[in-house]
């Protein structure tokens, strides 16, 4: 029996998720701007300056495997409330760490913040739960577009609160606690069943194992493209405030550059879904990977403010096409009742690699050269082999599926 979807319900949920992405999501650019700078004030070695950001991503990675099944059993709302509670707790513990001068508490708070980061990653999947196949790419894109407001709210709020107290950056974490507590109310506007409509008919089917899923070509390539896009974006963005301030510019310059970057991450989302429907997900994903390469080239060309702005804007656009492309590929590559397993596995792998990239970012930036320019160059040069991996995987998938189209029995 063919299911008939009424996308009015999906559109309502998208509206709620866009609001959550805008309001609650503003904490992420705030923390990413000051995380490395706060780490610099407390870390025993400059090579560990970005460890607080790495712990956020590590927290996200280790949360996804249990948060996704929790949502499968108890509904998206429960998972999103857990995420916001984790964000509030993480900011409070980080604030305590700054107040007492404890790097250990800053790291513990950062790990708890990762619970929120993980839950935010599922906003894009929740948008597709009751959506038709035609509306799915646009639903994902619209939710991601909610990040436009977070790109404005977060860095601009950060300018006001980051120096509000004698302890540097304490005000940022206190503001983040408030954002999470107030933002929890948004999730009560969601209209999602615990088991999505499309899952009901399939629950009696046996879900494939994780290894079987990873051996599915489209799933494997989708994960690779999303992983590379997100990890490289994080690699460069994590070091950006350190590079900007280290090059002699002010903290507000760093806020403005990150704001431009986050705007570029989400602004294309208004059209990304339409472009995917028109040109195909593989082409748009490939365009994203090439734009990421362009970002690295601009960053390697110099450390003027213009270089930082242009490189970070290209980095945001490339991430948008690459990550939404990978997400769209994944959403169409598994059966409905495999959703919880696939999405949890995907985010665990993606954020595992992002954790490594974030940790490597500080080492490359502060400990791989004699000056800021050399460290910044090392960060951007590190993108090359991973971009080659993703582009190669995408080309292989296209050729593999063309061969299967000519000969359906060929594996």
Degrees (nearest 5) of the Cα angle 391, 263, 190? 95
Q: What are the angstrom distances between the C-alpha of 8 and each of 126, 132, 138, 244, 404?
A: 15, 10, 13, 45, 37
Q: Is residue 296 within 8 Å of residue 93, measured between CB atoms?
A: no
**331: Cβ contacts below 8 Å, ≥ 6 apart:** 125, 128, 136, 140
* String of DSSP letters for 334-348: S-GGGHHHHHHHHHH
Mean pLDDT score, 148-159: 87
Q: Of all residues in the chain, what percent carry a pLDDT higher than 90?
A: 43
Indicate if the pLDDT at residue 197 is higher than 50. Answer: no
The whole-angstrom distance between residue 155's C-alpha and the CA centroid of its chain comes to 17
Q: Between the ranges 60-74, 90-104, 119-133, 211-225, where is the mean pLDDT highest? A: 90-104
Interatomic CA distance for residues 352 and 357, integer angstroms: 9
pLDDT at 393 (0 to 100)? 94
pLDDT at 2 (0 to 100)? 40
pLDDT at 7 (0 to 100)? 76
Question: pLDDT-derived band of residue 194, with 50, 70 and 90 as boundaries?
Answer: low
Question: pLDDT-derived band of residue 207, with 50, 70 and 90 as boundaries?
Answer: low
* String of DSSP letters for 261-294: HHHHHHTTHHHHHHHHHHH-HHHHHHHHHHHHHH
Q: Is residue 154 within 8 Å of residue 255, measured between CB atoms?
A: no
Indicate if the pLDDT at residue 205 is higher than 60. Answer: no
Question: pLDDT-derived band of residue 112, with 50, 70 and 90 as boundaries?
Answer: very high
Q: Is residue 344 within 8 Å of residue 65, measured between CB atoms?
A: yes
Q: What is the pTM of this model?
A: 0.75
Widest CA span of the chain, in angstroms?
Answer: 69
Interatomic CA distance for residues 235 and 357, integer angstroms: 5
Question: pLDDT-derived band of residue 201, with 50, 70 and 90 as boundaries?
Answer: very low
Q: Average per-residue pLDDT in the chain?
A: 86
Indicate if the pLDDT at residue 81 is higher than 50. Answer: yes
**Torsion angle of the four alpha carbons 31, 344, 353, 304, in this order, in degrees rounded to the nearest 10:** -40
In terms of Cβ atoms closer than 10 Å to its own Cβ (0-12, 13-18, 19+), residue 400 is middle
Instruction: Read off the DSSP letter of residue 206.
Output: P
Question: pLDDT-derived band of residue 1, with 50, 70 and 90 as boundaries?
Answer: very low
Q: Who has greater pLDDT, 136 or 277? A: 277
Q: Is residue 389 within 8 Å of residue 220, measured between CB atoms?
A: no
Q: What is the 3-state secondary structure (H, E, C) of 230-260?
A: HHHHHHHHHHHHHHHHHCCCCHHHHHHHHHH
Mean pLDDT score, 64-90: 90
Token code pair at residue 237: 């963005």
Indicate if the pLDDT at residue 204 is higher than 60. Answer: no
Indicate if the pLDDT at residue 198 is higher than 60. Answer: no
CATH number of 9-185+202-406: 1.20.1250.20
pLDDT digit string (tens) for 230-242? 999 989 998 999 8
Instruction: Report the candidate in 113, 123, 167 with the shortest Cα–Cα distance to residue 17.
Output: 123
Mean pLDDT score, 171-190: 93
Question: pLDDT-derived band of residue 362, with 50, 70 and 90 as boundaries?
Answer: confident
pLDDT digit string (tens) for 3-53? 445 677 788 888 889 999 999 999 998 998 888 889 888 988 888 888 898
pLDDT at 4 (0 to 100)? 46
Question: pLDDT-derived band of residue 142, with 50, 70 and 90 as boundaries?
Answer: confident
pLDDT at 167 (0 to 100)? 92
pLDDT at 294 (0 to 100)? 97
Indicate if the pLDDT at residue 146 is higher than 60. Answer: yes
Mean pLDDT score, 243-262: 89
Q: What are the angstrom distances between the C-alpha of 3 and each of 11, 49, 199, 200, 334?
A: 18, 52, 11, 11, 17
pLDDT at 340 (0 to 100)? 67
Interatomic CA distance for residues 41 and 178, integer angstroms: 24
Indicate if the pLDDT at residue 344 is higher than 80. Answer: no
The rounded radius of gyration (Å) of the Cα atoms in the chain is 20
């Amino acid at each position: 029996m063919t299911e008939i979807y009424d996308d009015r319900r999906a559109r309502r949920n998208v509206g709620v998720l866009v609001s959550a992405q805008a309001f609650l999501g503003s904490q992420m650019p705030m923390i990413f701007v000051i995380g490395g700078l706060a780490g610099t004030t407390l870390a025993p070695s400059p090579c560990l300056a970005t460890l607080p950001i790495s712990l956020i991503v590590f927290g996200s990675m280790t949360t996804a495997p249990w948060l996704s099944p929790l949502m499968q059993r108890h509904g998206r709302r429960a998972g999103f409330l857990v995420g916001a509670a984790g964000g509030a707790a993480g900011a409070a513990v980080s604030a305590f760490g700054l107040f007492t001068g404890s790097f250990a508490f800053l790291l513990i708070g950062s790990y708890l913040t990762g619970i929120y980061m993980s839950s935010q990653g599922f906003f894009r999947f929740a948008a597709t739960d009751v959506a038709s196949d035609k509306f799915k790419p646009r639903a994902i894109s619209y939710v991601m577009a909610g990040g436009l407001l977070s790109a404005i709210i977060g860095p601009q709020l950060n300018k006001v609160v980051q120096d509000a107290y004698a302890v540097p950056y304490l005000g940022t974490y206190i503001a983040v606690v408030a954002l999470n507590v107030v933002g929890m109310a948004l999730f009560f506007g969601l209209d999602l069943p615990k088991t999505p409509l499309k899952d009901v008919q399939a629950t009696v089917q046996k879900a494939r194992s994780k290894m079987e899923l990873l051996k599915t070509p489209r799933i494997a390539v989708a994960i690779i493209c999303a992983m590379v896009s997100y990890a490289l974006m994080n690699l460069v963005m994590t070091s950006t405030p350190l590079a900007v301030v280290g090059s002699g510019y002010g903290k507000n310059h760093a806020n403005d550059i990150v704001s431009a970057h986050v705007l570029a991450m989400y602004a294309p989302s208004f059209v990304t879904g339409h472009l995917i429907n028109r040109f195909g997900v593989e082409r748009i994903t490939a365009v994203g990977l090439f734009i990421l390469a362009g970002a690295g080239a601009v960053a390697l060309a110099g450390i003027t403010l213009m270089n930082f702005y242009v490189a970070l804007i290209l980095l945001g656009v490339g991430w948008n096409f690459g990550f939404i492309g990978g997400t769209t590929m994944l959403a169409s590559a598994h059966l409905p009742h495999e959703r919880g397993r696939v999405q949890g596995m995907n985010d665990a792998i993606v954020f595992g690699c992002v954790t490594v990239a974030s940790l490597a970012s500080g080492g490359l930036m502060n400990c791989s050269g004699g000056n800021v320019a050399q460290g910044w160059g090392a960060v951007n040069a590190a993108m090359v082999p991973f971009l080659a991996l993703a582009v190669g995987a995408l080309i292989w998938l296209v050729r593999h599926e063309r061969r299967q189209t000519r000969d359906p029995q060929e594996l």
